[in-house]
Amino acid sequence: MRPSLRAFVNAAQKFVTTMEGKTILITGATDGIGQHTAIQLAKMGASVLVHGRNQQKADAAAQKISKTSGGRGYVHSYAADMSSLRQVRDLAERVRKDHPSIDILINNAGIFPEKKILTEDGYEQTWAVNVLAPFLLTSLLVDAVKERIVNVSSISAGSRIDFDNLNQEKGFSSHNAYSLSKLAMMMFNAELAARVPAPPTANCLDPGTVNTKMLIQGWGPCGIDIEDANHELFLATSPAVANTTGKYFVSDRARSMPSIVQDAKTRQRLWNILEEQTGSSFPA
C-alpha cells in the first residue's frame, strides 16, 4: 500500500465523521475530558446525555456543549451525585425512561480527593465514585447498551490489590486510593467483557496525561491541553476497535495490563465484593 493511501486508511479508521442517530451517555461531562468528548460527539451529530454532579452544572455544560457544537447534536442534561448509590440508581432509571436504548456508555466520572471522606453509604469517596458508581450504573444499563461501554482507567493504576484496604482502612492516601480505584476499574472491565457477550464491547483506557482539574490537583500541570485529549473519543467511535473487547488502551493502542488483571479468581473476588457493596448484579 502506498504511504499516502495508508495514511488515508489509518485516518479513516481513527475517527468516524458522523454519529448521527447514536445516543451516548457520558458521566462526569461538565468539564475536562468528559466535556471535550461530549462536544466532539455532538459535533458529529450524536445525541449526547451529559451527566453532572448537580443540575446547575449539568445544565450549564449542556448549553455550552450545544453552543460549541453549533447545535448539530441533541444534548440533554442529567444530575446525580455519583458518591450516592441511591442517586446512581435514580440516574439509571431516568436515563432508561427517556432512552430505552443507548448506543454507548462512557464511564468517565472520577475524583481525586485530598482527604478521606465517607459517603452516605459508608464507603471512602474515591472508591465510591471511581468504582462503585460505574459498576452500579453499568449493571443497571448494560442490557440497554447496544454497542460500546468505555471505562476510564489510568496509567496510574496500581499492580496489586489489598482486599483489606478497599475503604482505606489502613490509613488514607489520596494517591493510593486513586491508583487502587483505577486498577479496580481495569479488573472490572476485563471481567465485564468476559461475562457479557459483545455487543456491547467493553474496553478501558488511560485518557492521557491531560491538564484537567484532577491532574493539576494531584500532580500539577504536567500534561497536554484538554482540547488535544481524544483517546476517549477514539475508543468510543473508531471503526478500528468496533469489535474489540476486554482490552486496555494507551494512546489508542491496546497495551498489557498488570498480571493481577489476568487472574480470573481475583477478578471474581472483586466482582463479588462490588455486587455486595452496591446491592446489584449483572444479568447472567
Grid cell at residue 48: 449526547
- 226: which DSSP letter? G
Query: What is the pLDDT, as a whole number, of residue 225?
Result: 64
Length of the chain: 284
Alpha helices in the chain (DSSP H): 3-14, 32-43, 55-68, 85-98, 125-127, 133-141, 174-195, 213-218, 231-237, 264-278
| Res. 1: pLDDT tops 60 | no
What value does the mean pLDDT take over residues 240-267?
97
Q: Is 178 a catalytic residue?
A: yes
Reference 266, options 162, 112, 178; nearest CA is 162
Domain 19-278 sits in CATH at 3.40.50.720
For residue 54, what is its C-alpha cell? Answer: 448537580
Least confidently predicted of 49-53, 100-104, 211-215:
211-215
Q: Where are the domains of the chain?
A: 19-278
120 has pLDDT over 50: yes
Residue 2 has pLDDT above 80, yes or no: no
Q: Cell numbers for 252, please give them.
A: 489508542
Confidence of residue 208 (pLDDT cuts 50, 70, 90): confident
78, 123, 178, 248: the active-site residue: 178
Q: What is the pLDDT of residue 3?
A: 41
pLDDT tens digits, 69-80: 988 889 999 999
Q: What is the pLDDT of residues 215-231, one digit of tens each?
A: 545 555 545 565 667 99
Q: Nearest Cα to 231, choosing from 13, 37, 20, 9? A: 37
Residue 110 reports pLDDT greater than 70: yes
Task: Inform me whether the pLDDT recorded for 46 exceeds 60.
Answer: yes
